[in-house]
Amino acid sequence: MEKEQHTHIVKYKTYVFVLIALLFMTFTSVAITSLNLGPYTVSAALLLAGCKSLLVLLIFMHLKFDKKFYAIMAASVFLLLGCVIFITFLDYLYR
């Protein structure tokens, strides 16, 4: 039903940069556990994990080069997850 799309070929150099960025953030995630950030330790780990996921989605999974529709669908999933987490915390924060 849907028309064929042009295939976007990503340069190897870009993939290598992304790989390095992912590895760097992984090591940072590990290193950060040795710092005493108190209640922010989990937030920092989640922030780094979020950045890594975003890179994978945009570059490796081609969301950046695909139709906007797919980006909106992926964003909706994260919105849904955000709502689920928010509602769960209506229990934990007010218990």
Partner 1 sequence: MSDTVIQNPEPNYLEYQGRYKGIFAWIFSTDHKRIGLLYLYSMLVLFSVAAILGLLMKIELIAPGKTIMDAQTYNSFFTLHGITMIFLIVVPGLPAVFGNFFLPLMIGAKDVAFPKLNLLSWWIYILGAAVALSAQFFGDGPPDTGWTFYAPYSFRTGTNMLPAVTGAFILGFSSIATGLNFIVTIHRMRAPGMAWMKMPLFPWAIYGTSWIQVLATPIVGITLLMIVLERTLQIGFFDPALGGDPILYQHLFWIYSHPAVYIMILPAMGVISEIIPTFARKTIFGYKAIVVSTLAIAFVGYFVWGHHMFTSGMSGTALYTFSILTFLVAIPSAIKIFNWVATLHKASIDIQTPFLWALCFLFVFMIGGLSGMVLGALSANVHLHDTAFVVAHFHFIVFGGTGYAFFGALHYWYPKMFGRMYDKGWANIGLAVFFTGFNTLYLPMFYLGMIGMPRRYYDYVEEFHGPNIVSSFGAMLMISGLIIIITNLVRSARKGEIAEADPWKGKTLEWTVASPPPLENFAEIPVVTKRPYDYE
Binding site for partner 1 (CB under 8 A): 1-2, 77, 80, 83-84, 87-88, 90-95
- Tell me whether residue 42 or residue 93 sits nearer to partner 1 (CB atom): 93
- Tell me whether residue 40 or residue 70 sits nearer to partner 1 (CB atom): 70
Give the C-alpha distances (Å, rounded to integers) separating 36 from 32, 44, 49, 88.
8, 11, 19, 27
DSSP 8: P
Q: Where do the DSSP E strands lie in 12-65? A: none
- Tell me whether residue 28 or residue 88 sits nearer to partner 1 (CB atom): 88
* Residue indicated by tokens 């976007």: 8
Q: How far is the CB of 3 from partner 1 (least distance, A)?
A: 11
Instruction: Give the whole-angstrom CA distance, residue 51 versus residue 49.
Output: 5
Distance from the Cα of residue 95 to its chain's centroid? 30
Q: How far is the CB of 21 from partner 1 (least distance, A)?
A: 25
- Tell me whether residue 16 or residue 79 sits nearer to partner 1 (CB atom): 79
Q: How far is the CB of 14 from partner 1 (least distance, A)?
A: 26
